[in-house]
Structure 1
């Protein structure tokens, strides 16, 4: 009876988690002209149509650029910050960690509105630059937390030994610390990339005419067209995210860092 109850709970949980994904896959494979489930027959035409929609191609390129370069910028800031917080007894270190984590804690709508009102409007930044800065800020907490986790697992005496053998602090960091935490850095990059690419609330406030990330473009497309192409694109993006996380888990042991 106990095993039966356990299997029932697991089945309900998996249905709750995977069910929407399955619905989207089949809705995108509908042979009909309107988004519906169960689908009116099966066809791959909507999956193929996704690649012919110009706005989707443009917004996909923008989202990829923001996710890649925003995450790299966050790592350039986050790796030294994580190192300083981990290796030095800084005054107010816990307060600094809380401030760094604030983009995760504060709802995205509030972050987006604040950035629009107090960063974009007063400075006159372009939409693309504003999105880049916002995505970098949103990914930064993940970079600091994941890299900090890697540093916690790295013995500090290895670095001290390198210094005693003649390395400067910078050389010890680049030759000893960085190679030993590269798995954590790559894990932070992957987590930041997926987070940035799928980001909606902040991007919704900062997008402008002709400049939209892919999730925002999908929302705008659904306002005027209710065909299954959005479901097909959603399924493709879900597969992409799952593939990235699966490869990261196989190569890096992604779950050790998050």
Structure 2
């Protein structure tokens, strides 16, 4: 009897710990009060509406969208050939390369951001937007390589060999046989990279500058000046956007098979 009660109780506490902060933020975003507080003071949609009127939010959203889409595409352009080479050929030092590619995940983002700022951006005079683009591409690259590699591992190599025997070139076989059969993994890698880049904070914090800030960094700066529920409203919208993207990916791509 005790075991039957303990298991669901433990599960409920874990879910409360994980979902509790999200519920608080969502509730606070519908507050009618003038300051961010919980429990909310009344009910209103005014802070949801205000999010769309703040000019800095619109600009930083555009920057984050550009970095998320552009950085993910660049990471896939680099990561797909790398994953293919490591999956199909016995390359010398392949494990070392695999480890090096994984470093942006292993190393804390604050360290990566500080190192890029001190030893790359400042000495070379790299523009802020270009520095952010390169940094986000580097951060997404490990996810692209890992997800595409998992998709390639489930693809029979003899399909490609059959295409070559029938007269296709290696590049033709890759384009006509391999890519169509791993498109689910590529789309999963794109979605994972997009969400990771869009919500990136530590590296963006070091590399953002005057006039060029990502949305999470702009939200941090906004909270230093204003403490109204609009930040909770924007956080809720972003959370629902991320959840919606992941749910759609799971529904149509089987997202959990690749990550």
TM-score (norm: length of structure 2):
0.99
Q: CA deviation at 1:63?
A: 0.2
Q: CA deviation at 1:118?
A: 1.4
Could you say which residue in structure 1 is the equivalent of 2:158? 157
Could you say which residue in structure 2 is the equivalent of 1:200? 201
Separation in 2, partners of 1:48, 1:243:
20
Spell out the pairing of 1:1-12 with structure 2 (5 A cutoff): 1=1, 2-12=3-13
1:245 aligns with 2:246: yes
1:177 aligns with 2:178: yes
* RMSD between aligned residues: 0.6
Aligned residues: 258
Q: Deviation per CA, 1:45-71, whole angstroms, max 9, x where unpaired?
A: 001000000000000000001000100
Q: CA deviation at 1:130?
A: 0.4
Could you say which residue in structure 2 is the equivalent of 1:133? 134
Unaligned runs of 5+ in 1: none
Q: CA deviation at 1:3?
A: 2.4
Separation in 1, partners of 2:19, 2:48:
20
Separation in 1, partners of 2:81, 2:120:
25
Spell out the pairing of 1:89-168 with structure 2 (5 A cutoff): 89-168=90-169
Runs (4+) of structure 1 exceeding 4 A deviation are: none
Separation in 1, partners of 2:88, 2:115:
33
Could you say which residue in structure 2 is the equivalent of 1:21? 22
Could you say which residue in structure 2 is the equivalent of 1:84? 85
Q: CA deviation at 1:95?
A: 0.6
TM-score (norm: length of structure 1):
0.99
Q: CA deviation at 1:122?
A: 1.4
Could you say which residue in structure 1 is the equivalent of 2:233? 232
Q: Deviation per CA, 1:156-178, whole angstroms, max 9, x where unpaired?
A: 01111110110100000000000
1:187 aligns with 2:188: yes
Q: Deviation per CA, 1:200-237, whole angstroms, max 9, x where unpaired?
A: 00000000011100000000000000000001000000
Could you say which residue in structure 2 is the equivalent of 1:45? 46
Q: Aligned to 1:210, what secondary structure does the other structure show?
A: coil
Separation in 2, partners of 1:4, 1:250:
33
Unaligned runs of 5+ in 2: none
Separation in 2, partners of 1:118, 1:244:
36
Deviates more, 1:238-247 or 1:118-127: 118-127
Separation in 1, partners of 2:240, 2:27:
14
